[in-house]
Amino acid sequence: MNFTLLVTVVLTAVLFVAIVMVLAKLLAPRSFNKQKEEPYECGIPARGDQWSHYHLGYYLFAILFLMFDVETMFLFPWAVVARSLGPQGLLAVVFFLFILVLGLAYAWRKGALKWH
Amino acid sequence: MFDFSIITKWFHTLLTGVMPEWLAIGIECLIVLLFIILLYAILAIALIYAERKICAFFQCRLGPNRVGKWGLLQVFADVLKMLTKEIIKLRQTDLLLHDMAPYFVLTASFLTFACIPWNKGLDILDFNVGVFFFIAISGIGVVGILLAGWASHSKYPLIGAMRSGAQLISYELSIGMTMLTVIMLNGTMQFSEIVQQQADFGWNIVRGHVPAVLAFLIYLVAGNAECNRGPFDLPEAESELTAGYHTEYSGMHFGFFYLAEYLNMFICGAMAATIFLGGWAPIYFPGMDGFNAVMGYIPGFIWFFGKAFFVVFLLMWIRWTFPRLRIDQLLSLEWKYLMPLSMINIILMALVVCFGLTL
Amino acid sequence: MTLDIRTVASSELHNEMMRLKQERHMDFLVNLIGMDWGEEGGLGVIYMLESSKTGETAEIKTSTMDREHPYLQTVSDIWQIANIYEREVYDFYGIIFLNHPDMRRLFLREDWQGFPFRKDDKPEEENPLRMDNEPLADTTKEYFINADGSVGVKENVIFAPDDYVINIGPQHPSTHGVLHMRTRLDGETVTKIDPVLGYIHRGVEKISESLTYPQTLALTDRLDYLSAMQNRHALCMCIEKAIGLEITPRVQYIRTIMDELQRVASHLLYYGALVMDVGALTAFFYTFREREMLLKIFEDNFGGRLIMNYNTIGGVMYDIRPDFAKQVKEFEKALRKRFHEYQDIYSTNIIALNRMVGVGTLSQEQAISFGCAGPTGRACGWHNDVRKRHPYALYDQVEFKEIIREEGDSNARHLNRMDEMLESLNIIDQLIDNIPEGDFQTKRKPIVKLPEGSFYQAVESSRGEFGVFIESKGDKSPYRLHYRSNGLPLIAAMDTACRGEKIADLIAIGGTMDFVIPDIDR
Amino acid sequence: MALIRKPKIKSIPYEDFKDNESLEKMIDELNAHGTNVVVASLDKLINWGRSNSLWPLTFGTSCCAIELMALGAARFDMARFGFEVTRTSPRQADVILVCGTITNKMTPVLKRLYDQMAEPKYVIAIGGCTCTGGPFTKSYHVVKGVDKILPVDVYVPGCPPRPEAFLYGMMQLQRKVKIENYLGTVNRKEKDPYKEEAKQLKKEIFNQEEKA
């Protein structure tokens, strides 16, 4: 039942967007001129290629996120049974978390958290 | 507390009594579909209206009051307007991605929306790994926003999308970690179970005392950032990037982003209510039986909406008070303050849980 | 005041200027005014210098007779602000400055024909309204003299072809009008700003040359509309002093009070605009609440909310209303009472402080070299208040502090303006109860004719030194009327202040600089 | 269809705009032909929505822009009419309030912004400068009336006009929107005249990339 519902919800979202879009396309006017189809940049024609080389200051954060997100994922199964595992489980996880914190500290120290 | 699953079960048996199983499920799915769309639309309209009115009161203004009584029809007018607005396609955009972006954003929004337990027995998607599922699908929204910015083939949206990419993924970590603390406290990942436990043993924020309150505060900040609002509205940043990642979207295309923004705010509030403030569980004081009984008569969904809207109001209050952060400040807030804090908080909660210190 | 202008031969100019800067410490280039003295005088430039230490002033002029290829030496290596001033002169008069690194037009389109401020130019005939986009060049020309005496041209690059350049403005919510900044980005970091001006260039100075003196008054209000009162005060004072008209004490009182009220109104709006730029929308509404009270006073007394047209030559347009003093006191009380709200919601907010402290720093030398007078310069520790340097109206009779801070960052600029608001209230306090009886208008001849000569009068407008320069040939309209814009130096300093900061900071710095574009473009 | 309906403006007191010639003329034209009942009712609904949700583009060049700020602030509060959602991107705006002098250099920019707006779009010329050139008509660099470049719907004179005048202008625009025929007139669907050209261009780019 749950997966049927999951599909239903996804379908709902897609249908909702699709139907509204069709309705909007039916109702809305269309007009054409050359300037309309150019990118907006405060009323000035854009210079150069829009998809030109853009310095991504954020990619380091993406990599860090990937790392930490996967690590925290491992914590979830433990969290569910944390109560029954008791202090012993906690000790194991603290060790794991310690490594995580070490990783963060390393990234911090290396200046990966500094915005470039 | 009234259990809604009685009705759904009764309805199911009623249907299967007169028709084959698959048809019954089909009809139920249709009802669910309509229910979601209706609720989604109503909430969106209510939230947009509330935001305009509340921000007006913060700003010593009146807010919309000409369209309909007290401006109640204002949002309907806006929707009609947006429906009849031209949808612009840029010459050099990646049309497929450009059109796909709203689908992603809305799908993420709908799916997370469906995870919310509205009442006892009234939840649409109730997995036993519910929290996990919730975190996973809320990531789809990021893809939508990134696509929107990238496919627009314009510089402002691109910068906005990149900002939002960095921001959303960063704050997702904190959300995950605060949810981890709650899971530890309740020992389950199923939303309905989490709320049921709160109904039985008291709200999480009380039960988990210090670490839970800490987690709640971290969640508020991170959740606020996740919905691109308040001091964290950098991806849109009206005064810097004109309109951010949806600069090139017009008409209903833009309307979807607008809609999703408000609904995400509600989802953020509803999640806070569910995992910290007891969801549909009524307020309960040990020893005051008369009072508790009266509270118990109030239907669960009213409790739920009351709590969710309280959190939403908090978010609005923050949004209309603080100036915007800068991108590097935003990221260092997450990585240098919230993240270490939530890690410490996990250990704190683990200690509390393992040594049975819960209230 | 009447100017005593010394003529320097064009070949000696650069050396003479260097000498003045080094020996007499003339480090503040107040004005650089292009001139067209016709066939007999040729094209030339008037330089007005001032020493930031001693307060001495010097006026120099130089000219060239060649109208086809007028060349003069640049002073842009001595004062940084000369860079943009000389581009303005090139734009209007076609005078080419040798060794100037960036000889582009400043205000007009790059493909504009002719030089509109020359007396023999007919700009409208040569330049019909054009709908095609303006070509924005990525390279610029530098003229220099070869060893054999001929003039050579070399190309300087503004933006390389693969630079990531984004246009901020002209239609942008945070450029306070139609400023256009071509901004080179490295990620989110601003590495260069090239301001493109002139989107609201209305040719006010050129129009004024064909108007009589009383008519020119109408245009001053529309320059820096947030200092409307002060601008007009400057022009009136300049004319009055030139024709030797005595002003009654009552008018002096009224004008001083109005100037300060205008300053408060302007700074209130500044606060509103800044907080909007930084994203704290609610605070914007708080200042407008008080500003509306002030506008009500303006409206009651002169019938205008924003543009009052109040000062006239020899007095003011109408007498103040009997309850003026009461109204002003009420407003003052309300503002003082609510002033802490502004501080609470923004000035002391931790996010706001993080956004402003240490951001967009200008050193004192830079501020003086760029000529950033007003609160911006005073935030860098430069004592430049015209009210103290060259007192006018009643400013030598009232007591007030010149607000000075040393940090030179956005926060200092912001706090300076906030403090100035209170200081203005103090000035009003001292005057409001003692407005003497008398005429509000001195009798004068209906036709105003200035004696031959050059005149200059500066006032402290809401955002710096606003100056009026008039060159008269004895007619009823000015031969040349030049306004010292108080925003142009701020724009020129933007590149220096913003380099290495983020886009968001660029917006915040622009907010604290508080420029008004029509005043820059004139 | 036999059922013919005479369009009328409801929800605005008729006396309020009776003295407005151009609106009067528009109404007469509409009445002369009459409209299908179903279409007219749908029109009415859509026009109600459109007229009550006119989102302005933040566009101000000079003095009038400050009064626009005052209009948004507490005393005048344009939010009452639902105008407060000022969009900074022309794609999402419905009406461009041309606040302040338009100069020759600004002309292509303004035209571009107007072109980039999504249909249906409206223009309000605010202030003397925008209507006629105002005090700067003598200037060599000022456009004498913004109607030389854009089709203006409402003129609001004044220097600068008071915020009340802004509101009146916006309300006049609402009235104008309310008597338009949306279906069939406003929502015309043009054919893309640049389709072939664009295909050609894409092909060329593709070829070039292949070569490289």
Q: What is the DSSP string of B248-300?
A: T--HHHHHHHHHHHHHHHHHHHHHHHHHTS-TTPPP--TT-HHHHHHHHHS-H
CA nearest to B43, candidates B220, B276, B264, B318: B264
In this complex, which of C136, C159, C172 lies closest to A42 when CB atoms are compared? C172
Whole-angstrom distance, CA of residue B288 vs CA of residue C168: 63
Contact C207 D136 (CB under 8 A): yes
Look up the ipTM and state it. 0.87
Chain D residues closer than 8 Å to B154 by CB: none
Nearest-Cα residue of chain C relative to residue B236: C279
Domain segments of chain B as ranges: 85-354
Interface contacts C/D by beta carbons within 8 Å: 134
pLDDT of B188-205, one tens digit each?
888 888 888 888 887 888
For testing the chain B interface, which of C163, C176, C190, C281 should be mutated: the one with the most B CBs within 10 Å? C281
Please check the confidence at residue C97 and state whether its pLDDT lies above 70: yes
Establish if C18 belongs to a structural domain. Answer: yes
What are the chain C neighbours of A41 within 8 Å (beta carbons)?
166-167
pLDDT, position C403: 87
**Whole domain around residue C219: which residue ranges?**
204-509
User: Which DSSP letter does residue C159 get?
Assistant: S
> Quick one: pLDDT at residue D31?
64
Q: Is A45 on the interface with C (CB under 8 A)?
A: yes
Task: Tell me whether D118 touches chain B (CB under 8 Å).
Answer: yes
Q: Do D116 and A38 count as a contact with CB atoms less than 8 A apart?
A: yes
> Closest-CA residue in chain D for A25?
D189
- CB contact (8 A) between residue B350 and residue A108: no
Residue B323 pLDDT > 50: yes
Is the pLDDT at C135 greater than 50? The verdict is yes
Contact C313, C448 (CB under 8 A): yes
Best B8, B184, B258, B342 residue to mutate vs chain A (most A CBs within 10 Å): B184
Cα–Cα separations (whole angstroms), residue C40 to A76, C12, C354 = 89, 21, 59
Rounded to an integer, the average pLDDT of B349-359 is 79
Please indicate if any CB of chain A lies within 8 Å of the CB of C158. Answer: no
The CB density around residue B283, as the number of other CB atoms within 10 Å, is 16
CB neighbours of B27 closer than 8 A, spacing ≥ 6?
A: B15, B19
Asked if C79 and C208 sit in the same domain, the reply is: no
Mind listing the domains of chain A with CATH numbers? 2-47+55-110 (1.20.58.1610)
Three-class DSSP category at C67: coil
Among B33, B89, B256, the residue with its CB nearest the CB of A17 is B256
What's the confidence (pLDDT) of residue D5? 52
Q: Give the residue carrying structure tokens 């009802």.
A: B31
Q: Give the mutation candidate from B152, B259, B334, B343 for the A interface (greatest A CB count, under 10 A).
A: B343
HEC string for C78-124 = CCCCHHHHHHHHHHHHCCEEECCCCCCCCCCCCCCCCCCCCCCCCHH
- Disruptive mutation site among A33, A38, A41, A42 for chain C (greatest number of C CBs within 10 Å): A42
- Judged by CB atoms closer than 8 Å, whether chains meet at D192 and A32 is answered as yes
In a domain, C174, yes or no: no
Residues 6+ apart with CB under 8 A from A104: A68, B335, B339, B340, B343
CA distance B84 to chain A (A): 4
Name the residue of chain C whose CA is nearest to A50's CA.
Answer: C164
Show the tokens assigned to B103.
């689908």
- Chain D residues 53-112 with a CB less than 8 Å from chain B: 53, 55, 73-74, 77, 79-82, 84-85, 87-89, 91-92, 94
pLDDT band at residue B259 under the 50/70/90 scheme: confident
Mean pLDDT, rounded, of chain A: 79
Is residue A46 within 8 angstroms of chain C, CB to CB? yes
Residue C226 has pLDDT above 70, yes or no: yes
The answer to pTM > 0.90 is no
Q: Which residues of A touch B86 (CB under 8 A)?
A: 28-31
Examine the pLDDT at C35 and tell me if it is beyond 70: yes
What pLDDT shows up at residue D16? 58
Would you call B59 an interface residue with chain D, using a CB distance cutoff of 8 Å? yes
Residues C298, C293: Cα–Cα separation, whole Å:
9
Q: What is the pLDDT of residue B7?
A: 79
Q: Are residues C259 and C114 in the same domain?
A: no
For residue B87, list chain D residues with Cβ-Cβ distance below 8 A.
Answer: 118
Mean pLDDT, range C389-413, rounded to an integer = 86
What confidence score (pLDDT) does residue D13 get? 57
Query: Tens place of pLDDT for every residue, chain D, 212 residues?
Result: 344 555 555 545 555 555 667 777 777 776 666 667 777 778 888 888 888 888 888 888 888 888 888 888 888 888 888 887 888 888 888 899 888 888 888 888 888 888 888 888 899 988 888 888 888 888 888 888 888 888 888 888 888 888 888 888 888 888 888 877 777 777 777 777 777 777 787 777 778 777 77
Determine whether the interchain pair A30/D194 forms a contact, defined as Cβ–Cβ distance below 8 Å. Answer: no
Distance (Å) from the alpha carbon of D114 to chain C's nearest alpha carbon: 12
Q: Give D96's contacts in chain C (Cβ within 8 Å).
A: none
Report percent pLDDT > 90 for chain B: 0
| CATH of D13-186 among 3.30.300.30, 3.40.1410.10, 2.40.128.720, 3.40.50.12280 | 3.40.50.12280
Q: Is B84 on the interface with D (CB under 8 A)?
A: yes
CA-nearest of D58, D17, D42, D64 to D176 is D17
- Decide if C65 touches A, using CB distance below 8 A: no
- Of C468 and B293, more confident: C468
Rounded to 5°, the CA angle C329-C330-C333 comes to 85
Closest chain A residue to B358, measured at CA: A83
Tell me, yes or no, whether C362 and C252 share the same domain.
yes
- B287 conformational bin, left if phi > 0, alpha if psi -120 to 50, beta if neither: left
Residue D34 or residue C409, greater confidence: C409
Mean pLDDT of the region B274-298: 80
Give the model confidence (pLDDT) of C314-342 as tens digits.
888 888 888 888 888 888 898 888 888 88
> Closest partner residue to C507 among B55, B240, B322, by Cβ?
B240
D42 touches chain B (CB under 8 A): no
pLDDT on residue D1 = 37
Residue matched to tokens 């295309």: B253
Same domain, C147 and C218: no
- Spatial CA neighbour of A81 closest among C324, B188, D81: B188
- Are D106 and D136 in contact by the 8 Å Cβ rule? The answer is no
Q: Tell me if D190 and A43 make a contact (CB, 8 A cut-off).
A: no
Whether A44 sits inside 8 A of C166 (CB atoms) is no
Q: Is A83 on the interface with B (CB under 8 A)?
A: yes
For residue C346, the distance in angstroms to the closest alpha carbon of chain B comes to 8
Least confident range from B162-166, B236-240, D130-134: namely B236-240
Query: What is the pairing mode between strands D95-99 and D122-126?
Result: parallel
Angle at D20 between CA D15 and CA D26, to 5 degrees: 105
Contact C346 B240 (CB under 8 A): no
- C-beta atoms of C278 and B155 within 8 A: no
Chain D partners within 8 Å of C219 (Cβ) = 135-136
CB distance C136–A48 less than 8 Å? Answer: no
Mean pLDDT estimate for chain B: 84
- pLDDT attached to residue D2: 41
Put simply, the answer to whether A54 touches C187 (Cβ < 8 Å) is yes
Q: What is the DSSP string of C274-296?
A: HHHHHT-HHHHHHHHHHHHHHHH
Give the whole-angstrom CA distance, residue A106 versus residue C296: 61
Do D9 and D175 touch, CB atoms closer than 8 A? Answer: yes
A57 to B5, B166, B168: CA distances (angstroms): 50, 9, 15
Q: For B188, which residue in chain A has the nearest alpha carbon?
A: A80
Q: Closest Cα to residue D59, out of D86, D92, D80, D91?
A: D86
Q: Number of Cβ pairs closer than 8 Å across B and D? A: 103
pLDDT per position as a tens digit, A49-66: 666 666 666 777 778 888
- In Å, how far are B62, B74, B311, C118, D47 from B66, measured between CA atoms? 10, 8, 28, 55, 16
- Predicted local confidence at residue A1, as pLDDT: 60
Measured between CA atoms, how close is A115 to chain C, in angstroms? Answer: 10
Note whether C224 and C326 are same-domain residues.
yes
Predicted pLDDT at A88 = 82
Question: Residue C327 has what pLDDT?
Answer: 87
- Asked whether the beta carbons of residue B323 and residue C503 sit closer than 8 angstroms, the reply is no
Residue for token pair 């208040």: C385
Owner of token pair 């309310």: D178
pLDDT of residue A51: 64
Domain assignment of residue C167, yes or no:
no
pLDDT for C182 beyond 50: yes
Q: Is B183 helix (H, G, I), strand (E, B) or coil?
A: helix
Which has more confidence, C331 or B356?
Answer: C331
Using CB atoms, which chains have 3+ pairs under 8 A with D?
A, B, C
Split into its structural domains, chain C has a count of 2
The enclosing domain of C389 has a CATH number of 1.10.645.10
Model confidence band, residue B210 (pLDDT cutoffs 50, 70, 90): confident
User: Which residues lie across from C326 on neighbouring strands?
Assistant: none
Q: Is A99 exposed, middle or buried (0-12, 13-18, 19+ CB in 10 A)?
A: exposed
Establish how many alpha carbons lie within 13 A of residue B100's alpha carbon, considering only the half-sphere containing its beta carbon.
Answer: 13
Choose among B248, B335, B351: nearest Cβ to A39. Answer: B248
Closest-CA distance, A24 to chain D, in angstroms, reads 11
Taking CB atoms and an 8 Å limit, are A5 and B114 in contact across chains?
Answer: yes
B124 contacts A9 by C-beta, under 8 angstroms: yes
Mean pLDDT of chain C: 85
B1, pLDDT greater than 70: no
Please tell me the least confidently modeled range out of B38-47, C178-187, C334-343, D188-197.
Answer: D188-197
User: Which of C242, C223, C210 lies closest to C478, judged by CA?
Assistant: C210
Sorting pLDDT into bands at 50, 70 and 90, what band is B331? confident
Domain shared by C229 and C146, yes or no: no
Task: Please indicate whether, in this complex, the C-beta atoms of A80 and B183 are within 8 angstroms of each other.
Answer: yes
Q: In what helix (H) or strand (E) does residue C387 lie, and over which residues does it extend?
A: helix C386-389
What gap in Å lies between CA C179 and CA C176, rounded to an integer?
7
pLDDT in the model for residue C388:
84
- CA separation for the pair B59, B57 (Å, rounded): 5
